[in-house]
Amino acid sequence: MGFCSLNNSPHSIRRFLFSVMILSFLMLPIPLGAQDDFIRGDCLGDGEIQFGDLIYMLCIFCDPGPTYCVDACDADDDGIYDLPDAVYLLNYLFNSDVPPSAPFPGCGPDPTADSLACSNYQYDCQTTPSLPPLEPAFTMRIPEGFGAPGESISIDVVLEIDDSGNTMAACSFGVSHDSSALSFIGAEAGLDVEDVDYWSTQVHDGGWTTGIILSIIGQVLYSEGDYQLATAQYQVLGDVGEVTTLDFVDTLGEPTIETRIVPQWGPEVIPLTVAGSVTVTTAFRRADLNGDDVVDIGDPVWDLICLFSCFPSCLDAHDANDDGSWDIADPIYVLAYLFVGGDPPLPPFFECGADPTTDALDCEIYNSCP
């Protein structure tokens, strides 16, 4: 007799076949979510309500590809997929407005009877949504900055797109700072996005966020090049010598605004990011060498004497043309400004401040600025 034997009676065979049929049915793959379950606002069907969904909704003008679940794209649940759905989602994502109605934020059937359908929703409503892919063709960068205690400074956010053929239709990002070292004053659109269709900034504890849409109907795309996306103003609170970090984060806002790039019509991708910093330096006034709060003939004369006979404690103040070196060209530059209508010394000149230029010169002590 073998390890297992089967009684050959008709009754036993029928019972065995019935058992096999039941087990076979139980072992069949079972869909993790019903076909008509979806998350409202998830127009791309990836399980997340993101900027990419909003940009894809704007495709109502261009028909770039399939709409997997029209019900999911009906963000305002009025039974019509149209432009107001994109506006509704925009206000929710970037203005903390009313979120989409059910089913949201989890999956479920549409509680509203309408003519829209959800025949091919891609997300299974069970697994954790995956992050968008990292796309090294895009790099968001915050350049290094300098500021004196109490000074207001400007810091840019820059996007670099390489020559791989990638394009950007929209982007979002959040920037954090140490509130004990910097006080956020405000932000404005960068030089390269002043004429875009949408630019919005929100202020949060410890940082700020921005969303940018180049063109509502997708007629404008950014390709290879460097783009100034925003300029933020901060007041420096730290002490001389301190260095504080400005970094990209995905934790600000409700809902959170994440650092993302949306290529033409999405889905979105994650760019590389390079954090910036602000170094707190001594305040000075360029070309005011004798500390009398006036730049006159006495300053270039003193500069000529000092050039060969002294060791200044603030070399930056002597660098009138801000070329990173102290030489005979600096007093000549000041004389030209005073007597023949030449350009004024570079900032900080009309008021005290930090040197905005990275060079080998420094300013250890300058007593004429607060």
- Enter the DSSP assignment of 43: T
In this structure, are 149 and 232 located in the same domain? Answer: yes
Does 220 have pLDDT greater than 70?
yes
Cis status, amide bond into 255, omega within 30 of 0: yes
Query: Which of 8-22, 160-174, 251-265, 327-341 comes out lowest in average pLDDT?
Result: 8-22
Beta bridge partners of 228: 158
Of 246, 230, 48, 222, the residue nearest 144 (C-alpha): 246
In this structure, are 197 and 327 located in the same domain? Answer: no
> Does 11 map to a domain?
no
In this structure, are 154 and 270 located in the same domain? Answer: yes
Please answer whether residues 89 and 125 qualify as being in contact, where contact means their C-beta atoms are separated by less than 8 angstroms. Answer: no
Cβ-Cβ contacts under 8 Å for 146 (sequence gap 6 or more): 153, 278, 279, 280, 281, 354, 355, 356, 358
Beta bridge partners of 269: 261
> Does 342 map to a domain?
yes
- Domain boundary (246, 280, 314) is at 280
pLDDT at 65: 60
Residue pLDDT, tens place only, 6-59: 343 343 334 333 333 333 333 333 333 345 899 999 999 999 999 999 988 887
Please answer whether residues 38 and 110 qualify as being in contact, where contact means their C-beta atoms are separated by less than 8 angstroms. Answer: yes
Residue pLDDT, tens place only, 133-142: 999 999 999 9
- Token output for 21: 């049929």
Residue pLDDT, tens place only, 164-181: 889 999 999 999 999 999
What's the angle, vertex CA 96, arms to CA 75 and CA 56, rounded to 5?
40
In this structure, are 287 and 224 located in the same domain? Answer: no
In this structure, are 290 and 359 located in the same domain? Answer: yes
> Does 195 map to a domain?
yes
pLDDT at 129: 92
> Does 9 map to a domain?
no
In this structure, are 111 and 213 located in the same domain? Answer: no
What CATH number does residue 216 fall under?
A: 2.60.40.680
Average pLDDT of the chain to the nearest whole number: 87
In this structure, are 58 and 143 located in the same domain? Answer: no
Orientation angle between helical segments 298-309 and 329-339, nearest 10 degrees: 170
Counting the structural domains of the chain, the total is 3
pLDDT at 99: 95
pLDDT at 66: 63
- Hey, is 369 helix, strand or coil? coil
In this structure, are 140 and 117 located in the same domain? Answer: no
> Does 274 map to a domain?
yes
Confidence at 309, pLDDT banded by 50, 70, 90: confident
In this structure, are 295 and 245 located in the same domain? Answer: no
> Does 343 map to a domain?
yes
Confidence at 2, pLDDT banded by 50, 70, 90: very low
pLDDT at 67: 64
What CATH number does residue 70 fall under?
A: 1.10.1330.10
Confidence at 91, pLDDT banded by 50, 70, 90: very high
In this structure, are 160 and 244 located in the same domain? Answer: yes
Quick one: average pLDDT of 311-332?
Answer: 94
Kindly state the helix (H) or strand (E) to which residue 246 belongs, with its residue range: strand 243-248
In this structure, are 83 and 116 located in the same domain? Answer: yes
- For residue 58, give its domain range: 33-125
In this structure, are 150 and 239 located in the same domain? Answer: yes
pLDDT at 61: 59
pLDDT at 246: 98
- Domain boundary (280, 304, 332) is at 280
Cβ-Cβ contacts under 8 Å for 31 (sequence gap 6 or more): 124
